[in-house]
């Protein structure tokens, strides 16, 4: 007999589990299916180097999850299941080739003093931006946790206009709509301070000259100033594992090693899924796919199940450049040339200048391995000492940005054109770069583990081409256009088939928001559903008119 559930969730990443938790909490019978042996998607940890050394395989910064609605709603239960966070009061810094650095502390006065010692103009610009961040947090930031479009988002905008006035709101919106280069040039006088914030843009796919690229650096810089940077104690897997316990406590089922090979439909509605072993699972209500559009509609859903116009949008869905993850087991944390105090920071960015970041991004987009990729160095054991059983340390190095498919090498040193052969040479380049900023690091390495862009996709199909954020976040594919105009509220043309995850609003990061909002939509009233569908249709019409005007 084929088992039947109210809701079948495909993909046990944190957003899929969050959707399952809210649905199960509403009394629905849910089943989560995860293809891998372990839950978490891009929020996982494991022993990748020395036995007992726990590395966060992909995502590591848990600030967004700590501030999420799901943590507010279920935080007490999650803590009872062992989920806890370690927080660094020294969140991030950027090091420069001349042996200097700029530091941001979880301390407003100390950060201002750091910047003032470098440049009075930079300190003044930082303080101005901090004030703007306060305004943004009061007015527009709530939109980051609301469906777009939605009645709640409409109310937020109305209140923002009342608070700031139309001209004030337009003035405030100019900051997140800027590129990171524009933001830096508007508020800082030195190239170092401009790079300090621009490095955050490449955590996503915002090269310095991409409009709208300033939003994430603007939010992340001052959120870290206010709250530090947190990691999950014991490893990132603690997040999905604790969520799964809560789902099961409400009667839900969570299965691993359960790869879905087809989402089945009939007469325009979803009916269930088929697994790789041939088993079938039926749904009485919904299938929620924690998948990117190309994976879901390109691999799992029959082509004739959606209109041709929608299929065309799936084909046009864009991915950003690739990422490499390098995990190091060390005897000692890096001894940074810019100061031994940097060993205590959660993140150290290696991004010499805005121009270098721009060149790196352009190279990656053009299929060229950059000579100087931007490095996000996560000093995990500076934040969470429990990650190793001895006095050793783990280092989390994210290499941004790299080509998904290799056409050449900017430095003319690497001949390989596939990642199977290029991974180690690129990793060697990264270690050499780190050695110049932290002399002696290479001698401290006990073991290393390298995940190329191809490895990232093999481990998680959502990371197409090694794009660690599951799809470009440029304007045309963000906000109420994520993943497509008219389809930003988690529904699809197939009745009962919904999506969540990084490919849906509000995008990448361990924010738990899309899982929460997707579940809310499934559980919402028919009256609100009709209103929202009407709004989405209108948005799609406006978007088409704008495109025709621009063309």
Per-residue pLDDT tens digits for 218-245: 999 999 999 999 999 999 999 999 999 9
Per-residue pLDDT, averaged over 153-174, amounts to 94
Handedness of CA 82, 88, 92, 95 (dihedral sign): negative
**CA–CA gap between residue 310 and residue 322 (Å, rounded):** 26
Residue 531 scores a pLDDT above 70: no
Q: What is the pLDDT of residue 12?
A: 98
CATH 3.50.50.60 range(s) for the chain read 4-60+236-318+469-550
Please give the CATH architecture assigned to the domain spanning 4-60+236-318+469-550.
3-Layer(bba) Sandwich (3.50)
Instruction: Report in angstroms the alpha-carbon separations of 186 from 119, 121, 175.
Output: 15, 11, 10
**CA–CA gap between residue 478 and residue 498 (Å, rounded):** 18
**CA–CA gap between residue 400 and residue 285 (Å, rounded):** 41
Cut 0.85: pTM above it? yes
Q: What is the pLDDT of residue 547?
A: 39
**CA–CA gap between residue 436 and residue 336 (Å, rounded):** 9
Per-residue pLDDT, averaged over 97-105, amounts to 97
| Element (DSSP H or E) covering residue 10 | strand 4-10
Of 423, 332, 422, 312, the C-alpha closest to 379 is 332
Q: What is the pLDDT of residue 1?
A: 83
Handedness of CA 188, 190, 192, 194 (dihedral sign): positive
Burial class of residue 234, CB neighbours in 10 A (0-12, 13-18, 19+):
middle
Q: For 302-361, where are the E strands, in sequence order?
A: 322-330, 347-350
Please give the CATH architecture assigned to the domain spanning 88-102+322-456.
Alpha-Beta Complex (3.90)
Q: What is the pLDDT of residue 442?
A: 97
Residue 50 scores a pLDDT above 60: yes
Residue 549 scores a pLDDT above 80: no
Of 521, 459, 525, the C-alpha closest to 496 is 521
CATH 3.90.660 range(s) for the chain read 88-102+322-456
Q: What is the pLDDT of residue 539?
A: 42
* pLDDT tens digit sequence for 274-324: 999 999 999 999 999 999 999 999 999 999 999 999 999 999 999 999 999
Instruction: Report in angstroms the alpha-carbon separations of 325 from 135, 264, 400, 446, 468.
Output: 36, 35, 9, 17, 10
**CA–CA gap between residue 48 and residue 119 (Å, rounded):** 42
Residue 548 scores a pLDDT above 80: no
Can you state the angle between helices 191-201 and 108-118, rounded to 10 degrees? Answer: 130
Contact 263, 287 (CB under 8 A): yes
- Residues paired with 31 in a beta bridge: 8, 253
Window from 158-162, 269-273, 389-393, 543-547 with minimum mean pLDDT: 543-547
Phi and psi at 287, nearest 5°, equal -115, 125
Residue 77 scores a pLDDT above 60: yes
pLDDT level of residue 530 (50, 70, 90 thresholds) = very low
Per-residue pLDDT, averaged over 69-92, amounts to 98
Q: What is the pLDDT of residue 58?
A: 98
Residue 11 scores a pLDDT above 80: yes
Q: What is the pLDDT of residue 167?
A: 93
């Amino acid at each position: 007999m084929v088992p039947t559930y109210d809701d079948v969730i495909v993909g046990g990443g944190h957003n899929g589990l969050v959707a399952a938790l809210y649905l199960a909490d509403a009394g629905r019978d849910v089943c989560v299916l995860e293809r891998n042996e372990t839950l978490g998607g891009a929020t996982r940890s494991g022993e990748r180097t020395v036995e007992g050394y726990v590395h966060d395989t992909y995502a590591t910064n848990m600030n967004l999850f700590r501030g999420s609605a799901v943590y507010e709603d279920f935080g007490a239960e999650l803590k009872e299941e062992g989920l806890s966070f370690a927080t660094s009061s020294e969140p991030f810094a950027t090091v420069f080739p001349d042996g200097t650095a700029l530091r941001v502390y979880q301390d407003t006065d100390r950060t201002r003093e750091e910047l003032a010692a470098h440049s009075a103009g930079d300190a003044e610009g930082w303080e101005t931006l901090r004030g703007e961040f306060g305004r943004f947090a009061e007015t527009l930031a709530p939109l980051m946790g609301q469906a777009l479009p939605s009645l709640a988002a409409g109310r937020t905008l109305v209140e923002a206009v009342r608070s700031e006035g139309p001209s004030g709101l337009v003035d405030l919106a100019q900051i997140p709509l800027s590129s990171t280069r524009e933001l830096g040039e508007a508020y800082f006088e030195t190239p170092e301070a401009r790079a300090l914030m621009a490095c955050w843009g490449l955590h996503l796919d915002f090269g310095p000259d991409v409009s709208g690229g300033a939003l994430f650096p603007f939010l992340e810089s001052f959120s870290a100033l206010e709250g530090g940077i947190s990691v999950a104690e014991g490893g990132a897997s603690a997040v999905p594992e604790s969520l799964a316990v809560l789902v099961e406590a409400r009667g839900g089922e969570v299965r691993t090693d359960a790869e879905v090979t087809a989402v089945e439909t009939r007469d325009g509605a979803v009916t269930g899924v088929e697994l790789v072993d041939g088993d079938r699972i039926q749904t009485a209500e919904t299938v929620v796919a924690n998948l990117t559009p190309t994976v879901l509609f390109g691999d799992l859903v029959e082509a004739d199940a959606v209109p041709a116009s929608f299929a065309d949008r799936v084909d046009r869905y864009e991915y950003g450049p690739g990422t490499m993850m390098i995990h190091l087991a060390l005897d000692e944390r890096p001894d940074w040339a810019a100061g031994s105090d940097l060993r205590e920071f959660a993140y150290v960015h290696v991004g010499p200048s805005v121009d270098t970041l721009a060149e790196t991004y352009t190279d990656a987009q053009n299929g060229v391995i950059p000579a100087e990729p931007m490095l996000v160095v996560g000093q995990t054991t500076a934040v969470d000492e429990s990650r190793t059983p001895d006095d050793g340390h783990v280092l989390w190095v994210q290499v941004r940005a790299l080509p998904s498919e290799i056409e050449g090498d900017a430095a003319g040193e690497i001949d390989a054109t596939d990642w199977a052969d290029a991974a180690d040479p690129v990793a060697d380049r990264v270690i050499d770069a780190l050695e110049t900023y932290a002399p002696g690091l290479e001698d401290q390495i006990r073991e290393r583990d390298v995940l190329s862009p191809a490895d990232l996709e093999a481990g998680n199909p959502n990371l197409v081409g090694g794009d660690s954020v599951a799809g470009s976040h440029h304007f045309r594919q963000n906000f109420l256009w994520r993943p497509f105009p008219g389809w930003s509220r988690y529904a699809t043309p197939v009745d009962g088939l919904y999506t969540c995850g990084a490919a849906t609003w509000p995008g990448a990061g361990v924010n738990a928001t899309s899982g929460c909002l997707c579940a809310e939509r499934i559980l919402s009233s028919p009256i609100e559903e009709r209103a929202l569908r009407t709004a989405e249709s209108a948005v799609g019409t406006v978007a088409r008119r704008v495109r025709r005007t621009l063309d």
